[in-house]
């Protein structure tokens, strides 16, 4: 088997917790050849005398047992993506214009015979903040708008809200706004809304604050249409509102609650049927807050704390998908 990872630069990986590396280690342990490239290496050329195939400058690597260096490069080669048994799109967010263009190129590779996971079209169809809108009964009170008057009214209605950009990651750009005594608006309400919406030119999301965040923002992984039995609760530290690991949250693995499992079992087969082999559902308390599809993580933390080999579950699902 020959597997290509489309990802961030290999040198930027954090060997202690990188989920893409966990996938690479598992595939290598099964005797698969591991290759990697970055989205900037994707190229397509057509017309008279051209191959008409999506190609990339790829690095063939050996995955090492050591933390650093964790890989050794065997060779570099110009390869057509359709020549690999599977292509895994694992580029981290943000989902910017270049990511968008990469999904179109990968979709072209699919037309040429490549097997790409997650599906490039599904990546485009499920923006991570907005994908939850399909299941309004599972989420907290939410407003998506760039109208500052509507956002201000939402803040006054609920008293304690969170506002965030639609293209943020790792907790960046998230603000909690609380009304004061007598319902007076948060002193920073105006400037936060002006900044996040760029004076009404950029759409954002506002949600009722969920006090259950003190127990963690749970990442529930869905693999091949089934939930992983453990979630990673990202628990805020040091007075923070955000539980994101990138914002200093502490990751605690725990068995899925009855509500977590109900949400996961409802979404898992739907998302899998749309081409999302791997997705990460974020849940605070009993409410879903995001659906992560670009580069879901937490494999290493869950495996280390519970013994559940999430990477093995993923590669098992990948093998089944390739046989389909």
> 86 and 159 share a domain?
no
pLDDT value for 239: 66
Active site includes 234? yes
CATH number, residue 180 = 3.30.1490.20
pTM of the model: 0.94
H or E segment at 109? helix 97-111
Active site includes 91? no
Q: Residue 182: left (phi > 0), alpha (psi -120 to 50), or beta?
A: left
Active site includes 282? yes
Q: Which candidate, 272, 276, 267, 227, places its Cα nearest to that of 135?
A: 267
Q: What is the DSSP string of 241-263?
A: S---GGGTPEEEEEEPPHHHHHH
- Candidate list 128, 218, 287, 292, residue with the active-site label: 292
> 161 and 177 share a domain?
yes
> 269 and 197 share a domain?
no
- Can you give the residue range of the structural domain that contains 19? 2-118
pLDDT value for 223: 98
Active site includes 242? yes
Q: Indicate the Cα dihedral angle 137, 217, 130, 97, nearest 10°.
A: -170
Active site includes 218? no
- Candidate list 208, 282, 287, 301, residue with the active-site label: 282
Active site includes 201? no
Res. 110 pLDDT band, cuts 50 70 90: very high
- Candidate list 90, 208, 234, 287, residue with the active-site label: 234
User: Residue 243 above 70 pLDDT?
Assistant: no
pLDDT digits (tens, 9 = 90+) for 23-51: 999 999 999 999 999 999 999 998 766 67
> 201 and 240 share a domain?
no
- Candidate list 79, 208, 219, 287, residue with the active-site label: 219
- Candidate list 164, 208, 218, 287, residue with the active-site label: 164
């Amino acid at each position: 088997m020959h597997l290509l990872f489309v990802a961030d630069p290999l040198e930027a990986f954090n060997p202690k917790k990188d989920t893409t590396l966990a996938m690479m280690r598992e595939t290598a342990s099964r005797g698969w050849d591991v290759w990697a490239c970055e989205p900037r290496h994707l190229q397509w050329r057509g017309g008279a005398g051209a191959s008409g195939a999506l190609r990339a400058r790829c690095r063939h690597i050996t995955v090492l047992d050591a933390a650093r260096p964790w890989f050794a490069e065997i060779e570099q080669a110009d390869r057509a993506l359709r020549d690999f048994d599977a292509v895994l799109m694992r580029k981290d967010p943000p989902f910017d214009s270049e990511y968008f263009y990469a999904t179109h190129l990968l979709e072209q590779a699919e037309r040429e015979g490549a097997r790409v996971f997650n599906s490039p079209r599904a990546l485009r169809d499920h923006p991570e903040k907005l994908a939850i809108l399909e299941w309004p009964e599972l989420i907290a009170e939410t407003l998506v708008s760039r109208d500052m008057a509507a956002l201000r009214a939402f803040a006054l209605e609920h008293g304690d809200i969170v506002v965030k950009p639609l293209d943020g990651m790792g907790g960046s750009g998230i603000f909690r706004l609380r009304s004061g005594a007598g319902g007076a608006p948060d002193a920073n309400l105006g400037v936060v809304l002006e900044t996040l919406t760029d004076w009404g030119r950029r759409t954002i999301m506002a949600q009722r604050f969920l006090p259950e965040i003190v127990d963690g923002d749970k990442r529930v992984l869905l693999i091949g249409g089934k939930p992983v039995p453990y979630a990673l609760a990202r628990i805020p530290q040091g007075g923070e509102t955000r539980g994101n690991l990138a914002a200093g949250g502490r990751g605690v693995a725990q068995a899925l609650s009855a509500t977590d499992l109900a949400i996961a079992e409802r979404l898992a087969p739907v998302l899998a049927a749309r081409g999302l082999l791997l997705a990460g559902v974020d849940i605070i308390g009993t409410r879903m807050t995001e659906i992560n599809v670009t580069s879901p993580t937490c494999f290493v933390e869950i495996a280390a704390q519970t013994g559940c080999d999430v990477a093995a579950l993923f590669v098992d699902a990948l093998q089944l998908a390739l046989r389909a």
